[in-house]
């Protein structure tokens, strides 16, 4: 496809990036530390961490990992919400030459066991709120080292005691667990010396992240993202946003979880590169508390998903915040709805930019330029060094304005799925990645998502995979067969609707939802149950999800 979008780039934006500018993510980190030193890198619950402090603590953790017997290339999992411990652990793992395995802290035991075993994780950093989940599966995994932390552990002494005591004894948010061989994360960090650290040999081909996603079939798969993939995407997004970012000055709100690829790249890494402050929000579901936290800081940029923006707009006090420093909201993870975007612009007097990406692309593929004056309904133009083609069912490129499946090519495209050659070959062909999304493009190079070819369900920006829901439903003794689809929802974009054929009529909807809650993370649990006598199928017996959805 002719790159018509290049003619409409801001004159300051290059069409290609220099992938050789950095050898690894750690190089980017080190340059930022050298440049911004005592400036604040992360803020959480009123406590801050400077670049120098982050450098020292992460190096000490890296040194401990190396001394513990782990080797470069070994996978190390992180299972926690947005806390100061996260960047310390993540950069420590990367500095040690190891691979970060991001784990959703809300995973059930079944989901956690799969990801730990599939990734081959040999260690895990985990908040004690979720330790009981780990305890139930630990002996069935290869994990040898467990590093435990509590939510308040990076806070000053008195505040730490208060926060941890309230969470454990008042709110009772830490279920009982027994992990006798676990080590205190903060203790091993503080008791290790920077001088013990041995710099590993990192290069573009070194694996940096195993970022789990699912696709349309089967269980969750680990997308292999190298240092090159991540550097490329950082440089690609930098080219677009560098026109408005003020190094060392911007305050970026990080409400999306850092274990999600969107926040990992767009918040944790991108703005650290420019010496900006990351305001970490641990519990964005507490909207009143979130708005109160925003009132304390001169925030300038807020990446989020449609549900987050909509939630803020409907929270008392948000409209009265000081937006004099605010530049824009950056929407991704799911489609931004026009009514939300328009209300956002009316309240904040700034544009809500929309982008598009997927885990397999590290993740950004397209984004709207920050100079956009109002919501366009488009996912934007491809970032530099990115090719996109739209193909019809015969594999032929479609004309401008016509719909076709989006295929992506660029240095940000993953190496493949870990230990899943067949799944990799289905999505990667000659360097092109088939997104499964149906899109169209106008003559200016702005792309628009039309529909998803995949059956994947998108709940508040998180992938939900029908096969997984159906497998859990089938675990119930009174379920003959099941099919899961996504249906539109005003708040979360989509919710899961589960169609069930029962063995008898005694099984109730409430019983099925309760059954699913035992085995699935909250956002995956069906919100709607429909009982049917039979499910529509093809002549070879494949359930027709699209017919159910329609």
- CA separation for the pair 547, 526 (Å, rounded): 18
**What CATH architecture does domain 457-549 belong to?**
2-Layer Sandwich (3.30)
Q: Are 32 and 51 in contact (CB under 8 A)?
A: yes
Pick from 216, 127, 119: nearest CA to 456 = 216
Does an H or E element contain 102, and which? strand 99-102
Buried b (16+ CB within 10 A) or exposed e, 100-138: bbbbbbbbbbbbbbbbbebbbbbbbbbbbbbbebbbebb
Q: In what order do the strands lie in the sheet with 221-226?
A: 183-184, 145-149, 123-127, 75-79, 99-102, 207-213, 221-226
Q: Which residue has the tokens 């890198």?
A: 41
Q: Which two tokens stand for residue 480?
A: 């003959």
pLDDT tens per residue, range 113-136:
999 999 999 999 999 999 999 999
Q: Which two tokens stand for residue 65?
A: 């990992």
Burial class (CB in 10 A: 0-12, 13-18, 19+), 391: middle
Does an H or E element contain 207, and which? strand 207-213
- The full set of domain ranges for the chain reads 49-202, 457-549
Q: Which two tokens stand for residue 426?
A: 């289905």
- Topology (CATH level 3) of domain 49-202: Rossmann fold (3.40.50)
Q: Which two tokens stand for residue 452?
A: 């998803």
pLDDT at 139: 97
Query: Which residues of the chain fall short of a pLDDT of 50?
Result: 215-217, 540
Q: Are 376 and 342 in contact (CB under 8 A)?
A: no
Q: What percent of the chain has pLDDT over 90?
A: 83
Neighbours of 2 (CB within 10 A): 10
Helices then strands (H, E): number in the chain? 17, 26
- CA separation for the pair 548, 236 (Å, rounded): 40
Beta strands 99-102; 207-213: pairing state:
parallel
- CA separation for the pair 486, 550 (Å, rounded): 10
- Local structure of residue 166 (DSSP, 8 states): I
Q: Do domains 49-202 and 457-549 have the same CATH topology?
A: no
Q: Which two tokens stand for residue 129?
A: 């709120």
Query: Chain-centre distance of CA 491, in angstroms?
Result: 19
Largest distance between two CA atoms of the chain:
68
Angle at 402 between CA 398 and CA 408, to 5 degrees: 55
In whole angstroms, how far apart are CA 491 and each of 336, 460, 494?
11, 8, 8
Does an H or E element contain 353, and which? strand 352-357
Alpha helices in 249-299 (DSSP H): 261-263, 270-273, 287-294
- CA separation for the pair 173, 358 (Å, rounded): 33
Residue 304, strand partner residues: 331
pLDDT at 215: 42
Pick from 85, 355, 54, 343: nearest CA to 233 = 355
Beta strands 40-44; 47-50: pairing state:
antiparallel
Phi, then psi, of 94 in degrees rounded to 5: -65, -40
| Residue 206 CB partners (closer than 8 Å, separation 6+) | 24, 72, 73, 97, 226, 227
State the angle between helix axes of 25-36 and 85-95 in degrees (0 to 180), rounded to the nearest 10.
Answer: 120
Does an H or E element contain 515, and which? helix 509-519
pLDDT at 220: 86
- CA separation for the pair 124, 103 (Å, rounded): 9
Q: Which residue has the tokens 């299972």?
A: 79
What is the pTM (predicted TM-score) of this model? Answer: 0.89
């Amino acid at each position: 496809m002719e790159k018509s979008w290049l003619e409409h780039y801001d004159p300051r934006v290059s069409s290609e990036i220099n992938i050789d500018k950095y050898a690894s993510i750690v190089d980017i980190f080190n340059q930022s530390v050298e440049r911004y030193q005592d400036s604040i890198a992360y803020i959480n619950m009123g406590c801050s961490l400077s670049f120098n402090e982050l450098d020292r603590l992460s190096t000490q953790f890296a040194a401990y990992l190396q001394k513990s017997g782990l080797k470069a290339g070994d996978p190390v999992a992180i299972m926690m919400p947005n806390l100061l411990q996260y960047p310390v652990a993540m950069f420590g793992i990367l500095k040690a030459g190891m691979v970060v395995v991001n784990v959703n802290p809300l995973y059930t035991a079944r989901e956690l066991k799969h990801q730990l075993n599939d990734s081959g994780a040999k260690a895990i950093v985990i908040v004690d709120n979720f330790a009981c989940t780990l305890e139930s599966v630990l002996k069935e995994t290869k994990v040898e080292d467990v590093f435990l932390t509590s939510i308040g552990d990076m806070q000053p002494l008195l505040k730490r005691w208060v926060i941890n005591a309230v969470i454990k004894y008042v709110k009772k948010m830490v279920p009982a667990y027994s992990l006798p061989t676990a080590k205190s994360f903060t203790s091993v960090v503080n008791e290790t010396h920077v001088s013990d650290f041995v710099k590993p040999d990192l290069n573009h081909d070194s694996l940096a992240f195993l970022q789990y996603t699912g696709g349309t079939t089967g269980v969750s798969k680990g997308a292999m993202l190298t240092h090159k993939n991540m550097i490329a995407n950082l440089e690609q997004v930098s080219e677009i946003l560098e026109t408005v970012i003020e190094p060392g000055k911007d305050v970026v709100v990080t409400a999306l979880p850092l274990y999600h690829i969107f926040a990992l790249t767009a918040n944790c890494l991108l703005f650290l590169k420019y010496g900006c402050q990351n305001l970490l929000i641990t519990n964005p579901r507490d909207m009143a508390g979130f708005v109160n936290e925003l009132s304390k800081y001169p925030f300038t940029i807020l990446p989020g998903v449609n549900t987050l923006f909509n939630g803020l707009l409907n929270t008392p006090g948000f409209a009265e915040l000081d937006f004099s420093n605010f530049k824009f909201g950056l929407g991704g993870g799911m489609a931004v709805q026009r009514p939300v975007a328009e209300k956002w612009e009316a309240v904040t007097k700034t544009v809500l930019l929309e982008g598009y990406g997927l885990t397999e692309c590290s993740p950004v593929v397209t984004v709207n330029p920050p100079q956009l004056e109002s919501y366009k309904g488009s996912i934007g133009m491809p970032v530099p060094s990115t090719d996109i083609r739209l193909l019809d069912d015969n594999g032929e490129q479609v004309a401008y304005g016509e719909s076709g499946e989006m295929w992506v090519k660029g240095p940000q495209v993953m190496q493949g799925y870990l230990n899943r050659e067949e799944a990799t070959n289905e999505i990667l062909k000659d360097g092109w990645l088939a997104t499964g999304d149906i899109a169209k493009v106008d003559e200016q190079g702005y792309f628009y998502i039309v529909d998803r070819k995949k059956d994947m369900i998108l709940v508040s920006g998180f992938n939900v995979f029908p096969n997984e829901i159906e497998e859990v439903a089938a675990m119930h003794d009174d379920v003959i067969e099941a099919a899961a689809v996504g249906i539109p929802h005003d708040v979360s974009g989509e919710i899961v609707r589960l169609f069930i054929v029962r063995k008898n009529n005694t099984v109730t909807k409430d019983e099925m939802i309760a059954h699913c809650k035992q085995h699935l993370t909250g956002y995956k649990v069906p919100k709607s149950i429909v009982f049917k006598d039979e499910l529509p199928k093809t002549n070879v017996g494949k359930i027709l999800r699209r017919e159910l959805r329609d």
